[in-house]
Amino acid sequence: MDWIKEASTSAQKSDAVFFYVFALSVVFLVFITALMIYFVIRYSRKRHPKAEQIHGHTGLEILWTAVPLVLFLTIFYYGWTNYEYMRKAPADAMEVKVNARQWAWSFEYPNGKQTKVLFAPVNRPMKLEVRSLDVIHGFFVPAFRIKVDAVPSHTNTTWFQATRLGTYDIECTVICGVDHSLMLSKVVIVPEDAFKAWYFGGPDAPEPKPVPDAPRPAAPVPPPAVALMDAKGCLACHSVDGKPMVGPTFKGLFGRREEVVEAGQRRTITVDEPRLREAIRTPMKSVVRGYPPAMPAVALAPAELDEIVAYLKTLHAPAAEHP
């Protein structure tokens, strides 16, 4: 079944129920449809001019109440027992925290490692504790048939044990704002050795490589402020290279003249340091015209704010530097 990749033990459990219900459904649908067509032809007015006045049949009513009831109950039971398997992680599963925010996923391992992509060893259970920092999101890995909502103020859990090496999509399934459909990530399933080498290799260990993919070229190391903004989710909506995204790009922002909407009034401002700080701390107070009022207030330590503002100043418009 390659069009619906089945890459975890939970997927096997889910699909078994799916095909059971599917088979019953096909039988039922074909039976009902065939019967309808047969009756319409067999008892057409031409062939059967006089209708028989039948009012019903108690035996049949009981039969077609009881048989569907029993079948539905088997479906319930099969669905329930396999769901129990999908719900409860084995005790030896590694626990990884999944943090959802508009519009990015991040993963935090027990030893403190943080990633944007979920790395997991093949054939080992991994338990996920899913949380949200803002609105409701849905954590969904189609190839594993696992899904759980990330609900603010709740912690929901799910787990998986991958059966195949490879890279699989993570998708958000609960509408969470403008870039809901870009709230994607990947699960990378690697051999256990490769996972351990990364996990126990200290902070500088290279991330394990997805198996079928060719080795990736080494990415240039980003400045610490960029890593910070990535971790805080800023870069989900703002680019540093001028690429248009949900929010205005940071490139050339400092010193730029912008038209903002504040309390329904439009005014033009020049982006300076106080404006940057205000826009990060109280994003909804005044919003750049033409962009959605969608930015959440992000909790930043004073030192972090200073670092980001200092970095944004280095991205000022070339025209301002070389008049």
Partner 1 sequence: MSAQDTPLPPSYLVDTGSRKGLLAWLTSTDHKRIGLLYLASMLTFFFVAVGIGLVMRLVQLTAFSHLITAETYNALFTVHGVIMVFLFVVPGLPAVFGNFFLPILIGAKDVAFPRLNLASWYFYMAGATVVITALFTGHGAPDTGWTFYVPFSLHTGTNVSLAVFGAFLLGFSSMLTGINFITTIHRLRAPGMHWFRMPLFCWATYSTAWIQLLATPILAITLVLVILERVFGIGIFDPTKGGDPLLYEHLFWIYSHPAVYIMILPAMGAITEILPTFAQRPIFGYKAIAFSSMAIAGVGSLVWAHHMFTSGLSQFAVMTFSLLTMIVAVPSAIKVFNWVSTLYKGSIDFQPPLLFALTFIFLFCIGGLTGVMLGALAVNVHVHDTYFVVGHFHYVMFGGTGMAFFAALLYWFPKMFGKMYSKKAIYASWFPIFIGFNMLYFTMLVLGVMGMPRRYFHHLPRFDTGHDIATVGSWILVLGLVMFFGALVHALFKGEKAEDNPWGGVTLEWTIPSPPPQENFQEIPTITTEAYHFPQEEIG
Q: Does 281 bind partner 1 (CB under 8 A)?
A: no
Q: Does 138 bind partner 1 (CB under 8 A)?
A: yes
Least distance from partner 1 to the Cβ atom of residue 95, Å: 17
Alpha-helical runs (H) found in 232-301? 273-281
- Please say whether the beta carbons of 173 and 103 come within 8 A: no
Q: Give the whole-angstrom CA distance, residue 88 versus residue 297.
A: 35
Q: Does 173 bind partner 1 (CB under 8 A)?
A: yes
Which residues 6+ apart lie within 8 Å of 120 measured at CB? Answer: 96, 126, 160, 162, 187, 188, 189, 190, 195
Q: Does 268 bind partner 1 (CB under 8 A)?
A: no
Select from 167-175, 200-208, 212-220, 224-232 the region that touches partner 1 (CB under 8 A): 167-175
Among 23, 80, 242, 278, which residue sits at the site for partner 1 (rule: CB under 8 A)? 80
Determine the straight-line distance between the first and last CA of the chain, rounded to whole angstroms: 62
Read off the DSSP letter of residue 178: T
25 or 114, CB closer to partner 1? 25
Q: Does 8 bind partner 1 (CB under 8 A)?
A: no
Count of residues that interact with partner 1, criterion CB under 8 A = 88
15 or 307, CB closer to partner 1? 15
- Residues making up the chain, counted from first to last: 323
Q: Contact letters (x/-) for partner 1, 231-260, by CB under 8 A?
A: ---------------x--------------
187 or 312, CB closer to partner 1? 187
125 or 199, CB closer to partner 1? 125
Structural tokens at position 183 = 């709230």
Which residues 6+ apart lie within 8 Å of 197 measured at CB? Answer: 205, 208
- Please say whether the beta carbons of 158 and 147 come within 8 A: yes
Among 54, 219, 299, 303, which residue sits at the site for partner 1 (rule: CB under 8 A)? 54
Select from 89-97, 133-141, 221-229, 272-280 the region that touches partner 1 (CB under 8 A): 133-141
Q: Does 205 bind partner 1 (CB under 8 A)?
A: no
Structural tokens at position 110 = 């027990």
Q: Give the whole-angstrom CA distance, residue 269 versus residue 255.
A: 10
28 or 310, CB closer to partner 1? 28
3-state secondary structure of 124: coil
Q: Give the whole-angstrom CA distance, residue 7 versus residue 99.
A: 23
Instruction: Tell the burial category of 97 from Cβ atoms under 10 Å away from its Cβ (0-12, 13-18, 19+).
Output: middle
Q: Does 52 bind partner 1 (CB under 8 A)?
A: yes
Q: Does 124 bind partner 1 (CB under 8 A)?
A: no
Q: Does 14 bind partner 1 (CB under 8 A)?
A: yes
Q: Give the whole-angstrom CA distance, residue 96 versus residue 5.
A: 23
Among 23, 90, 114, 181, which residue sits at the site for partner 1 (rule: CB under 8 A)? 181
Q: Does 296 bind partner 1 (CB under 8 A)?
A: yes
Among 23, 205, 227, 284, which residue sits at the site for partner 1 (rule: CB under 8 A)? 284
Among 281, 292, 306, 319, which residue sits at the site for partner 1 (rule: CB under 8 A)? 292
| Nearest CA among 174, 160, 189 for reference residue 87 | 160
